[in-house]
């Protein structure tokens, strides 16, 4: 065990650097965790979609468009864990035929009504989606929530067309802000736990590093196109003025270093 936060043990694989919450989940417990999403749970996270966030979403999607190979028609996109439809809506605006997956019933209904598109209310691993049916699959702040990330990526590979692109955005466990928080937590004999409880919490079951996510994608069968890091838009997180100031300082210090940003941004292609 690396450390424990609020009785949640966090462990690290010594061979691949993957960090994970040592709690056993199944499909039903995953559903229970997200039953309140869209009904008061995580309301600030879903409402914090401002112009900066939309600009970043457009950039991610345009990069996906440019990276897709072997297509000669309108691109089809699957957004896994579409939440309130922020990415899915931007995809439609850019010309994609977009389909969502969202296990929160309230959010799934919201997206259907707002964007008039198909939204599946099952886990990706439970769906029998047609093989090779999508040009792009997006996992925007999603893979860290998966019960078994490898199984999810195997399904992504199956439903992607040859030359199709998988886009992943997920917390970076080697981010400067996380490194500082872990040092302070250890130096205080685990008494200074507020930053850690915000960075390691029950909804996130996995915490990837650049190395562990690259290895996972490669062993699943993807060709890595690019991997970089960016810092989280602060509009999407609820922090005090002091906490925001500390986060901005860490973001500023980490900016020149390609692997210290708060989020991993990954593009991978199905051969």
122 lies in which domain range?
3-269
- The pLDDT of residue 13 is 87
Q: Which of 60-64, 162-166, 222-226, 249-253 has the lowest mean pLDDT?
A: 249-253
- Give me the number of domains the chain comprises: 1
Identify the band that residue 166 occupies on the pLDDT scale cut at 50, 70 and 90.
very high
Which residues share a beta bridge with 224? 268
DSSP 42: T
Q: Which helix (H) or strand (E) holds 195?
A: helix 194-199
Q: Edge-to-edge strand order for the sheet containing 263-269?
A: 119-120, 97-101, 76-80, 134-140, 160-171, 263-269, 223-230
Q: Which of 20-24, 54-58, 137-141 has the lowest mean pLDDT?
A: 20-24
Span 146-162, mean pLDDT?
Answer: 97
Is residue 209 within 8 Å of residue 173, measured between CB atoms? yes
In this prediction, what percent of the chain has a pLDDT beyond 90?
Answer: 66
Query: Which residues in 22-47 are b (16+ Cβ under 10 Å) and which e?
Result: eeebeeeebbebbeebbeebbeebbe
Per-residue pLDDT tens for 47-87? 667 889 999 999 999 999 999 998 878 999 999 999 999 99
Identify the band that residue 36 occupies on the pLDDT scale cut at 50, 70 and 90.
confident
Identify the band that residue 8 occupies on the pLDDT scale cut at 50, 70 and 90.
confident
Q: What is the CATH number of the domain that holds 172?
A: 3.40.50.150
**pTM for the structure as a whole:** 0.93
């Amino acid at each position: 065990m690396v450390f424990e936060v609020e009785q949640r043990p966090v462990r690290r694989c010594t061979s691949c650097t993957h960090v994970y919450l040592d709690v056993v989940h199944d499909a039903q417990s995953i559903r229970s965790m997200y039953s309140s999403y869209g009904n008061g749970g995580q309301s600030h996270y879903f409402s914090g979609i401002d112009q900066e966030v939309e600009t970043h979403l457009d950039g991610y999607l345009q990069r996906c468009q440019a990276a897709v190979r072997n297509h000669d028609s309108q691109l089809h996109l699957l957004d896994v864990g579409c939440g309130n439809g922020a990415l899915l809506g931007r995809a439609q605006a850019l010309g994609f035929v977009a389909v969502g997956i969202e296990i929160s019933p309230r959010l799934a209904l919201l997206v259907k009504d707002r964007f008039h598109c198909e939204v599946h209310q099952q886990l990706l691993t439970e769906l029998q989606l047609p093989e090779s049916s999508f040009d792009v699959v997006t996992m925007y702040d999603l893979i860290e929530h998966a019960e078994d990330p490898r199984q999810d990526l195997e399904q992504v590979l199956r439903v992607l067309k040859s030359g199709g692109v998988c886009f992943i955005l997920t917390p970076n466990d080697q981010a400067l802000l996380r490194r500082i928080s872990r040092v302070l937590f250890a130096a205080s004999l685990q008494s200074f736990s507020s930053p850690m409880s915000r960075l390691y919490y029950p909804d996130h079951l996995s915490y990837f590093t650049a190395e562990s996510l690259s290895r996972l994608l490669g062993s699943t069968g993807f060709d890595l196109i690019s991997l970089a890091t960016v810092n989280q838009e602060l509009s999407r997180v609820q922090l005090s003025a002091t906490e925001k100031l500390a986060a901005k300082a860490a973001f500023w210090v980490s900016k020149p270093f390609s692997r210290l940003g708060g989020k991993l941004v990954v593009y991978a292609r199905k051969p």
